[in-house]
């Protein structure tokens, strides 16, 4: 009889050995394990849509099925099907008033590979990458490019959006400034004045460089169609046309059409940058499936249908974030240590649950934000994501709530359970 000993782990690359996993996925995994064990938990962690709540639009489904039946199942063009790039360019013009050519548009399998390609096209090892915290995944993309991370803290007073004054001390000789609006994780959006001041800062820095590698602005606007209330989406090039040579936009279908699994995203910006990003992604093969590209082009041609889809999604998101905001304001009025910031876009609500270091009536003391999150899962059956998962301090009391999987009939029970949990605090 032979026995097989467990071999010691073989060292891998430094990148593989030191890559940090997603804290959001970690928290979601713990929630899913409890749900699988039979616990009824409101999972408000993942930035995704439950198809039972936000189904893929029927018009989109039909176009995808038609494209498959027509046999569009071979490789797409490496930079994206021409018909889709042309339609994206037209849609950008219709919705934002921006004039971009199809050759300034790049298609890929969602926003993630495009962000990675932008980092790779711009950033050299040891270059500085500046980004605000909280923000989504910029720390990981900076690590993947062996760059220097310059994480700039923001405040609730500015709705967790960076100001030009926040950024000014950090941009000298930086290669990339990465921002997002509406912002994941906060659901807040730049005003025209806020963003214009940041654009002026970038332009001032680039005029100082006199022919050296410029500072580029990565502008993630994947939630641009989902602005709430009276919020108006703004962008760098509309506000300051001189920003055009330095701005790389990220967008796509995943959020506007509740189509996260369809995997069609686009970047647009300076043609040379798009060409270099195209070359990088060509080696990776991160193409959006051809049938989905053909279907997306056909859907985008239907302006009234597109507008109706977006309005329907906005109505559902507004209803959900509004109900949650009202619930947290009620708890705050009752004297509980909670707060919230009105949502201005995306599918998120920023809430404050200030329990770090608090004594419970059973004599135990809550620790950092992760401890608080686990306490809420155990005692309130609700899961949310603390801002430390987006780069903030582990004692930061602010959290992200995502409404993409929220059924409205869950809302009363969520606040009943939260109230019971909060009464456990001494």
- Whether the Cβ atoms of residue 134 and residue 390 lie closer than 8 Å to each other: yes
C-beta of residue 327 within 8 angstroms of C-beta of residue 340:
no
CB 336 within 8 A of CB 422: yes
CATH 3.90.1150.10 range(s) for the chain read 19-48+308-421
Distances (CA, A) of 370 to 150, 239, 387: 24, 40, 10
CATH architecture of the domain formed by 19-48+308-421: Alpha-Beta Complex (3.90)
pLDDT at 414: 97
* Count of C-beta atoms within a 10 Å radius of residue 275: 15
| pLDDT at residue 4 in the model | 55
pLDDT digits (tens, 9 = 90+) for 185-242: 999 999 999 999 999 999 999 999 988 999 999 999 999 999 999 999 999 999 999 9
Length of the chain: 426
3-state secondary structure of 51: coil
At 103-131, the pLDDT tens digits run 999 999 999 999 999 999 999 999 999 99
301 vs 281: CA distance, rounded Å: 26
Q: Where in the chain is the domain with CATH 3.40.640.10?
A: 58-301
> What pTM was computed for the model?
0.95
Query: What is 58-301's CATH topology?
Result: 3.40.640
pLDDT at 44: 95
Pair 128, 174: CB distance under 8 Å: yes
Note the pLDDT of residue 88: 98
**CA 106 to each of CA 145, 255, 303, 366, 425: distance values in angstroms, whole numbers, following the listed order:** 21, 18, 21, 48, 52
For the chain, residues with pLDDT lower than 70 are: 1-8
pLDDT at 7: 63
pLDDT of residue 34: 84
* Token representation of residue 241: 């046309």
Q: What b/e sequence results for 369-405 when a residue is b if at least 16 CB atoms lie within 10 Å of its CB, and e otherwise? A: bbbbbebbbebbbbbbbbbbbbbbeeebbbbbbbbbb
Query: Cα(358)–Cα(267) distance, rounded to whole angstroms?
Result: 45
């Amino acid at each position: 009889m032979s026995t097989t000993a467990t071999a010691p782990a073989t060292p891998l690359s430094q990148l593989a050995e030191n890559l940090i996993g997603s804290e959001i996925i970690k928290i979601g995994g713990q929630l899913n394990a409890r749900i699988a064990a039979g616990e009824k938990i409101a999972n408000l962690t993942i930035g995704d849509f439950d198809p039972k709540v936000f189904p893929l639009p029927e018009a989109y489904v039909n176009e995808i099925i038609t494209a498959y039946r027509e046999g569009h199942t071979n490789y797409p063009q490496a930079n994206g099907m021409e018909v889709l790039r042309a339609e994206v360019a037209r849609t950008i013009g219709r919705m934002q008033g921006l004039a971009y050519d199809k050759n300034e548009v790049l298609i890929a399998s969602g926003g993630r590979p495009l962000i990675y390609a932008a980092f790779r096209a711009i950033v050299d090892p040891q270059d500085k990458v500046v980004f605000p915290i909280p923000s989504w995944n910029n720390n990981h993309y900076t690590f993947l490019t062996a760059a220097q991370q310059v994480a700039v803290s923001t405040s609730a007073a500015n709705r967790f959006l960076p100001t030009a004054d926040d950024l000014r001390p950090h941009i000298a000789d930086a290669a990339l400034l990465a921002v997002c609006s509406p912002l994941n994780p906060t659901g807040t959006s730049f005003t025209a004045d806020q963003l214009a001041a940041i654009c002026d800062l970038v332009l001032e820095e680039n005029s100082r460089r006199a022919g050296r590698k410029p500072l580029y602005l990565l502008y993630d606007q994947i939630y641009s169609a989902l602005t709430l209330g009276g919020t108006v989406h703004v962008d760098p090039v509309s506000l300051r046309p001189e920003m055009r040579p330095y701005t790389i936009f990220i967008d796509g279908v995943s959020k506007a059409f509740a189509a996260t699994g369809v995997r069609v995203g686009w970047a647009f910006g300076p043609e040379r940058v798009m060409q270099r990003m195209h070359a990088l992604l060509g080696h990776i093969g991160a193409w959006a499936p051809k049938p989905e590209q053909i279907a997306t082009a056909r859907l985008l041609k239907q302006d009234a249908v597109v507008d109706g889809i977006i309005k329907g999604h906005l109505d559902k998101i507004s209803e959900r974030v509004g109900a949650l905001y009202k619930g947290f304001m009620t708890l705050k009025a009752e004297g509980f240590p909670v707060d919230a910031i009105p949502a201005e876009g995306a599918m998120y609500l920023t809430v404050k649950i200030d329990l770090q270091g608090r004594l419970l009536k059973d004599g135990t003391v809550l620790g950092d934000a992760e401890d608080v999150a686990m306490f809420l899962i155990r005692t309130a059956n609700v899961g949310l994501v603390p801002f430390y998962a987006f780069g903030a301090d582990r004692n930061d009391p602010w959290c992200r709530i995502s409404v993409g999987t929220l059924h409205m009939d869950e809302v009363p029970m969520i606040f009943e359970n939260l109230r019971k949990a909060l009464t456990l605090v001494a």
